[in-house]
Chain A
Amino acid sequence: METDVVVVGGGVTGAAVLRDLALRGVNAVLVERFDLGTGTSGRWHGLLHSGARYAVRDQESARECIEENTTLRRIAPHTIEDIGGLFVLLPGDDEAYAGQFVEGCRASGIATEELSAAAAHRREPLLAPDVRLAFAVPDGGIDSWALLRSMRADAEARGCQVLVRHPMVGVERTGDRITAVRVHDAVAGQDRTIGCQWVVNAAGAWAGEVGRMAGVPLTMIAGKGVMVVMASRYVRGVVNACRKPADGDIIVPQHEVAILGTTSEQVPSADDISVPPADVDRMIDMCAQMVPAIASGRVLRAFAGSRPLYQPEAPAGDGQAESGDTREVSRTFTVLDHASRDGLDNMYSIVGGKLTTCRQMAEAVVDRLAERMGVTEPCRTATEVLPGAGHGPHRVAAPLAKVERDQAYGELICECELVTRGQVRDAVADGLTELEDLRRAVRLGYGPCQAAFCAWRAAGLLAEAQPPEGSGEPPSGAPDPLAGLERFLEERWRGQQATIWGDQARQALLNHAIYRGIFDLQGAGAPDEAAAANQTPTEPGSGDPTRRVGDELIGDSEGRTSSRPGGG
């Protein structure tokens, strides 16, 4: 296989780079070790930043955010819930900070509107009664998987290619140039070589590993953030605490749930996405200060993501890396030209940044690359709308309205997320090979029942897509619905272990009674005793023997340890 540019990493940054290249007429291939959006792009709270969170301390990031917030609303409205946000001042919060906040927003170009306590409560009835004051800002919600799908579709329509489940395993170098990127086709089980002229490292928190394979030093800081998923939205818009960013200071309503965020902790590896139960408790207790109903609410699951923070090369022991709290590291982004930096002639890395600025990050790196390539087409990603944009902003009640209005719209496979049989069939027809991917494609299994009913219905649809006759073994390359179902269930479980109490404990045991009790799934033959013996409280699932099952296919799992470095 030959291409002009290999983009490494299937998060929003890599996909934005691929689309930018495609719009300039450049031939490119994106490689991703799992599915699109299984790294940081799929493990975050879903906030379309207004920039207000950075307005006091990091105004460069704040300005980037408000600019891209406006751009994304124009090019990808269908991925956005236009719900706005509040920064609320609680008793004990510093009024001086509120003054700095308003001034910082003004200086960064972010519109704010001060609301009295009464006005704030009219807008958000579940806010704590003792909220003193609030500021409205143009925050929003954004669905990163929808954004990824649109960017991918646009890039593919323009001749570029996406290879998922193709982790990068190395490069071929001739002197100062990379001549090819070697990848492993995890489905076919064989290595492939992609000859190329240029490489863009967009592996985010994993960019250091790509750098190492290419032979250039690149130090990323893995800044882990823990988030908690509540079973309902609680708030109409985003709610932030008006104070210096700290643990548990944001509530983002997203589709049918609310996400509480977040912690900020430096960890040795971006693959450390374990969820300590104490962090879950802290998120709930802190966010309940803003919205008290959260304290007694139903918690669905908890997860962690790894911020892709860039550490400019500095003397050992210098900088904030020692502090443990990674909030002090700037959230702006950096383009690294490895030719001038490291003497590697044809590779760029794009590091740092955040989802809201992914398009701008792509523009910055592709501008530099295009100049070197002699491509004169200007960047058009800020003006060309994405496929699907015609649907307008996403409204959370829209799918329900469709289902209620028109029974032909579809038979529900997942009542929690209103996923229809047709949506699943379409995904299967599009070449879906892994039940787990339906989660990102159509949100299967996200709701309160945590896949008690939808997963086996979807497995049935996968089975129906297979030839009916035969030994029972799926044809080569076809999904195995029963094995895929077990992988799906185990993935869902890894995010639940720190949140099993109350109603969700009942739900978990009911699900266990369904899958193991009624359907008699006994697991992949791995002894339970070994799993129990290996279990450690703060790292759910680590050492789990089933972790090996499908490791190369799913990847989206709490507490995983990478067995194969590469791409994001």
Chain B
Amino acid sequence: MRADVIVVGAGPAGLASATRLAEAGRQVLLLARGNGFTHWGAGAVDVLGRVGGEPVERPLAAIDRLPDGHPYRLTGEAAVREGLDWFSRFAGAAGLAHAGDPDRNRRQVTAFGTLRQTCLLPEPAAGEGLGGRVAVVSFAGFRDFSPALCALGLRRAGIDATPASAPVPAWDHDRYFTAVELARAIDDADFRRRLAPGLARAVAGADVAVVPAVLGLRRGHEPWADLQSLVGTPLVEAATAPPSIPGVRLFAAYRARLDTLGVRWQFGFPAIGVERDGDRVTAVRSEGASRVVVTRCQELVLATGGVAGNGIEANRDGTLTEKVAGLPVGLASSEPGRSEGRMAFVGARFLGDHPLGAAGVQVDAELRPVDASGEPVLANVRFVGGLLAGHDPTVEGSREGVALATAARVASLLAATPVR
């Protein structure tokens, strides 16, 4: 098999990279093991929430305070801004309009009643400045959102929140159901008409209602807007545990866009290695249905994620390995390929920081992997997203921003490369 550009990974960075490269005229093959952090994230666009543990209000202005080697320092602020602008246009065109401003962080309400720092928010989650009387409502039989817990957290944040429960109309389903099942049901206009009266009673007297992010799966933000008008009270979707329904919506939008652009897509077939000729990768090996498939390529973009995303293997002996190109990886505190033992992987507190979360591949300003002296070791391979060294996407709240900024950089670099 043959491809012009192979993108490996279907998380936020791989999806954006594949889309943008296709828009830039490249023939793209997307290889993915499975879903990524669209599904496991909070369903918003985090750009930079914290630096050194301190909350950041102006994410782009804070890039200067990041250490050398951080992905944003490599791409520059312009690529971050351009990446976010592109995303806003893309999401808006897909019926998933996002609110927010790259120059100012916003707060996203979560199922714990915490107000997490983020930047761009899907409109159903964008009810900034929750004020007045807030009803926190779940749907009877949905176990993955506790109005009592969310209201408790909101009250601690000084918000007048009260828990409530709305009945779910009879539907062709079990007594208990998942977020995906409920969201799919809410796609149906008739179901929404039957759901709305009970929800309206549950939120009666409130100025705004916080609900779990389950208002529709496949029809963009239309089910949310429709239900909101039927209920007559603003509805704000709170971030829930995985799978993220807003993330599933976004994934579906990318998939539709990639289909339109003619991108080939192999899902469930992980890349397991590369073939090289000197400093160039000539082909990618991936698991096929019954054999290893070798696909030749001109350019390779690796968006396989860090340890969490399965792009990097953490080994029992304390070493780390990048799983497709086989590059050595180090913790921030150690040289690539060197081990201080696996106890150096993690911190003492679960809710603290873990060196493993920031493990990644060192790259140059063109996102090519480099050796200890800073020289590129592979000329035609670019690394994007969570796979990059120098940042912990969870701790600093930068996952989607880094994905979009590095995808922007790759698109500009490779659009300029003539097809051979």
Binding site for B on A (CB under 8 A): 277, 281, 407-408, 411-413, 421, 452-453, 456-457, 459-461, 463-464, 466, 468-472, 481-482, 486, 489-490, 492-493, 496-498, 500-502, 505-506, 508-524, 526-528, 531-532, 534-535, 537-538, 540-541, 543-544, 546
Choose among B116, B342, B352 the residue that contacts A518 (Cβ–Cβ < 8 A).
B116
Given A482-B112, A527-B53: A501 in contact with B342 (beta carbons within 8 A): yes
User: Can you give 23 A-B contacts (C-beta < 8 A)?
Assistant: A411-B176, A456-B146, A456-B241, A463-B146, A463-B149, A464-B149, A466-B148, A486-B351, A493-B349, A497-B348, A501-B316, A502-B314, A502-B316, A516-B395, A517-B397, A518-B110, A519-B114, A520-B114, A520-B117, A528-B352, A535-B343, A538-B343, A544-B348
Name which residue of chain A comes closest to B163, CB basis.
Answer: A468
Name which residue of chain A comes closest to B174, CB basis.
Answer: A407
B394 within 8 A of partner (CB): yes
Give Cα A452 to B350, complex, Å. 12
For the complex formed, measure the closest distance between the CB of B173 and the CB atoms of chain A, giving whole angstroms.
11
Give Cα A39 to B356, complex, Å. 31
Q: How many A-B residue pairs have CB under 8 A?
A: 200
Give Cα A466 to B117, complex, Å. 28
B292 within 8 A of partner (CB): no
Chain B residues 301-331 with CB under 8 Å of chain A are 306-308, 310, 313-316
Given A453-B241, A500-B314: A535 in contact with B348 (beta carbons within 8 A): yes
Q: Which residues of A contact B315 (CB under 8 A)?
A: 501-502
For the complex formed, measure the closest distance between the CB of B396 and the CB atoms of chain A, giving whole angstroms.
10
B241 touches A531 (CB 8 A): no
Choose among A407, A493, A500, A511 the residue that contacts B356 (Cβ–Cβ < 8 A).
A500
Q: Told that A407-B175, A497-B346, A540-B343 touch, could you supply 8 new A-B pairs with CB distance under 8 A?
A: A411-B141, A456-B146, A509-B306, A515-B350, A521-B112, A521-B114, A534-B348, A535-B348
Give Cα A466 to B151, complex, Å. 11
Q: Which residues of A contact B349 (CB under 8 A)?
A: 490, 493, 523, 526, 528, 531, 541, 544, 546
B364 within 8 A of partner (CB): no
Chain B residues 151-170 with CB under 8 Å of chain A are 151-153, 155-156, 162-163
A interface majority secondary structure: helix
Give Cα A68 to B27, complex, Å. 72
B149 touches A521 (CB 8 A): no
B111 within 8 A of partner (CB): yes
Q: Which residues of B contact A519 (CB under 8 A)?
A: 110-112, 114, 116, 239, 241
Given A468-B162, A526-B349: A512 in contact with B394 (beta carbons within 8 A): yes
B348 touches A461 (CB 8 A): no
B189 within 8 A of partner (CB): no
Q: Which residues of B contact A500 (CB under 8 A)?
A: 314, 342, 345-346, 356
B347 within 8 A of partner (CB): yes
Give Cα A469 to B152, complex, Å. 9
B90 within 8 A of partner (CB): no
B341 within 8 A of partner (CB): yes
A513 touches B111 (CB 8 A): no
Given A277-B342, A500-B342: A528 in contact with B308 (beta carbons within 8 A): no
Q: Which residues of B contact A464 (CB under 8 A)?
A: 146, 148-149, 163
Give Cα A532 to B152, complex, Å. 31
B351 touches A520 (CB 8 A): no
B155 touches A472 (CB 8 A): yes
Given A411-B143, A464-B148, A482-B152: A509 in contact with B354 (beta carbons within 8 A): yes
Interface centre among A469, A490, A513 (most CB of B within 10 A): A513
Q: Which residues of B contact A472 (CB under 8 A)?
A: 152-153, 155-156
B353 within 8 A of partner (CB): yes
Give Cα A526 to B356, complex, Å. 20
B144 within 8 A of partner (CB): yes
A518 touches B351 (CB 8 A): no
Choose among A413, A463, A521, A528 the residue that contacts B152 (Cβ–Cβ < 8 A).
A463
Given A508-B346, A537-B343: A513 in contact with B353 (beta carbons within 8 A): no
B51 within 8 A of partner (CB): no
B344 within 8 A of partner (CB): yes
A520 touches B348 (CB 8 A): no
Q: Which residues of B contact A463 (CB under 8 A)?
A: 146, 148-149, 151-152
Give Cα A501 to B346, complex, Å. 10
Q: Which residues of B contact A517 (CB under 8 A)?
A: 41-42, 393-394, 397, 399
For the complex formed, measure the closest distance between the CB of A285 and the CB atoms of chain B, giving whole angstroms.
10
Q: Which residues of A contact B354 (CB under 8 A)?
A: 508-509, 512
Choose among B37, B112, B115, B342 the residue that contacts A456 (Cβ–Cβ < 8 A).
B112
Given A421-B143, A519-B114: A509 in contact with B352 (beta carbons within 8 A): no
Give Cα A463 to B136, complex, Å. 13
Given A456-B241, A460-B148, A481-B149: A512 in contact with B357 (beta carbons within 8 A): yes
